[in-house]
Amino acid sequence: MAVDATSKFSGFTPQRDDELSEAAKVAADSVLAVKESENVLIISNPEVNVYSISLAMYDAVIERDAKPILMVQPFKTQLDFAEKAVIEAIKSNPDICISLSAEKLGKDAGAIKNHYKVGEKEYDHVFDYLYREKKMRAFWSPSVTIEMFKETVPIDYARLRTECAELKEILDKSISVHVSSDKGTDITIGTMNRKAEADDGDFRSPGKGGNLPAGEVYMSPELNSSNGTIVFDGSISLPVGDLVIKEPVVATVKDNFVTELEGGEEAERLEEALTSGRDNALGFVKDGKLSPTEGDEYAKNARNLGELGIGLNRKAKIVGNMLEDEKVFSTCHIAIGANYDDDAKAVIHLDGLIKLPTITAKYRDGTEVPIMESGKLAY
């Protein structure tokens, strides 16, 4: 979804309707379990979709006798920094933080330069630090639309949570995952000592969070572990906007890094995006936001495999918006760039969708467990 970075409130009228209000109530009750007197920070942009949803969430929080604060900042992309006031508001450590951005929340300039450190873990954004260290709960919905929110948020969360839990258990036990498809995907991804995360819509306690729409299980590949070929044939995300793929994008992967891209216009644009991820990291060094060593790490990881995710939301459709696309049942996605274990940092994280995959997990004892066969759940 392309958005004008100079958009103003004068350019649109927020939409209000019963379906949107009901979806917001589902988010407040079934997903977040908002409680009386809780502090809820909502961050948005002056764009009709996300701002309208923000107002609906504000009203739903008020109805539960909680205390919402709505902040609106200018439009941000993957390569931009969040406003200082927004970062300071997150630092106030609300009980719940909701990010409803037309593209992205924006990077944390201070944390990129001086990471939050907890034991061996490091975080380059205060949002990630507070959420992952179980100090708040959250959901984030970059590029969400009104129709998407209305269609994919009111779902059967009991069923989703069961399927996510079963899939997470399989992935947590695995040492590798093999993904193939009839279009030519054939890649083995190492998962040794990695833990999967379930975006199951259960964000009811501190440390819980994910996307809305929810509906995927995902994990960071083991470093230097993945080899093979990926054929993206669904959609692909870029620093600004997403593309439905017309000509498949073929990515060659060696030791976790994309070494070559083939295809048409989509492949060219993805190559440009990976180059921008590298160049922006090196630009941060010149601006004093990263040390030379960190800059080299961020630049290198612009081509790193950062995620394997499997979609489980039965109401989601491929629409050219990765927030929904990556949740589509019968698909999986593999991201290039930063990972979720924060040991492969980058300034980009670009998801690519694979339709109707066959996915098999391998355990330490050699047991192979089928997860999906041509897009159908097999566990």
User: Does the pLDDT at position 1 exceed 50?
Assistant: no
Q: Which two tokens mark 55?
A: 């107002």
Q: CA 331 from chain center: how many Å?
A: 15
User: Does the pLDDT at position 86 exceed 90?
Assistant: yes
DSSP readout, 335-370? Answer: EEE--SSSSS--S-EEEEEEES-EEEEEETTS-EEE
Q: Which two tokens mark 249?
A: 């994008």
CA distance 210 to 232: 24
Q: Which amino acid is at 174?
A: S
Residues 125 and 194 placed together within one structural domain of the fold: no
Residues 93 and 176 placed together within one structural domain of the fold: no
- Tell me the CATH number at 127: 3.40.1830
First to last CA, the chain: 35
Please report, rounded to a whole number, the percentage of residues in the chain having pLDDT higher than 70: 98
Q: Confidence class of residue 227 from pLDDT cuts 50, 70 and 90?
A: very high
Task: Look at residue 313 in the predicted model and tell me its pLDDT.
Answer: 97
Is the residue at 1 inside a domain? no
Is the residue at 54 inside a domain? yes
User: Does the pLDDT at position 271 exceed 70?
Assistant: yes
Angle between helices 48-63 and 18-26 (to 10 degrees): 60
Q: Confidence class of residue 4 from pLDDT cuts 50, 70 and 90?
A: low
* 328 HSE (CA, 13 A, CB side): 23
Is the residue at 234 inside a domain? yes
Residues 37 and 177 placed together within one structural domain of the fold: no
CA distance 114 to 136: 21
Residues 319 and 294 placed together within one structural domain of the fold: yes
Q: Is 87 helix (H, G, I), strand (E, B) or coil?
A: helix
Residues 121 and 215 placed together within one structural domain of the fold: no
Q: Whole-prediction pTM value?
A: 0.86
User: Does the pLDDT at position 379 exceed 60?
Assistant: yes
The arrangement of strands across the sheet holding 349-355 comes to 197-199, 216-219, 305-311, 331-337, 349-355, 235-237, 242-244
Residues 183 and 322 placed together within one structural domain of the fold: yes
Q: Which two tokens mark 180?
A: 């193939």
Residues 222 and 327 placed together within one structural domain of the fold: yes
Mean pLDDT over residues 191-200, rounded?
Answer: 96
Q: Which two tokens mark 80?
A: 């931009």
Query: At residue 109, what are phi and psi to the nearest 5 degrees?
Result: -60, -45
Higher pLDDT, 1 or 145: 145
* Last residue of one domain, picked from the residues 148, 169, 202: 148
The 10s digit of each residue's pLDDT in 67-79 is 999 999 999 988 8
The 10s digit of each residue's pLDDT in 322-375 is 999 999 999 999 999 999 998 999 999 999 999 999 999 999 999 999 999 999
Residues 226 and 77 placed together within one structural domain of the fold: no
Place of tokens 């630009």: 283
Task: Look at residue 11 in the predicted model and tell me its pLDDT.
Answer: 76
Q: Which two tokens mark 5?
A: 């970075």
Query: At residue 198, what are phi and psi to the nearest 5 degrees?
Result: -105, 115
Containing domain of residue 112, as a range?
A: 9-148
Domain count of the chain? Answer: 2
Nearest in space to 98 (alpha carbons), one of 35, 142, 133: 142
The 10s digit of each residue's pLDDT in 51-62 is 999 999 999 999
